[in-house]
């Protein structure tokens, strides 16, 4: 498995071991599972979503080559107050103070 250099905000999350929600975080139903304080992080995972390239003009007239780029994501596994675990996109959280 290839090791990826952690971006600064992900490295800070790993170092602290806890996160807080950002204002534009998940739904209130999901937030309620974690209480009001810092949320324990049990893991961090790098995910690559493969893009798409279409080279067939019959499928997309006027677009001989259409590409959707690959997407690099970081997911953080959080531990809820009941012990269950949830993976969320790292853009929804920040390192706890």
Evaluate whether residue 13 is within a structural domain.
no
What the block records as the tokens of 11 is 């490295």
Rounded to two decimals, the pTM is: 0.74
pLDDT by residue (tens digit) across 5-64?
Answer: 889 999 999 999 999 999 877 888 999 999 889 999 999 999 888 877 666 656 656 666
Q: Count how many domains the chain has.
A: 1
What the block records as the tokens of 9 is 């905000």
Q: Which residues of 84-96 are buried (b: 16+ CB within 10 A; e: fewer)?
A: eebebebebbbbb
Query: Domain range for residue 44?
Result: 24-95
What the block records as the tokens of 85 is 């675990």
Evaluate whether residue 15 is within a structural domain.
no
Evaluate whether residue 3 is within a structural domain.
no
Evaluate whether residue 11 is within a structural domain.
no
């Amino acid at each position: 498995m290839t090791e990826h250099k952690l971006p600064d905000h992900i490295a800070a999350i790993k170092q602290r071991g806890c996160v807080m929600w950002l204002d534009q975080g998940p739904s209130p139903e999901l937030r309620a599972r974690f209480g009001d304080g810092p949320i324990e992080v049990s893991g961090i995972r790098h995910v690559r979503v493969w893009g798409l390239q279409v080279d067939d003009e019959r499928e997309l007239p006027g677009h001989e080559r259409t590409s959707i780029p690959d997407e690099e994501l970081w997911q953080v596994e959080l531990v809820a107050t009941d012990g269950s675990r949830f993976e969320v996109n790292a853009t929804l959280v920040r390192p706890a103070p």
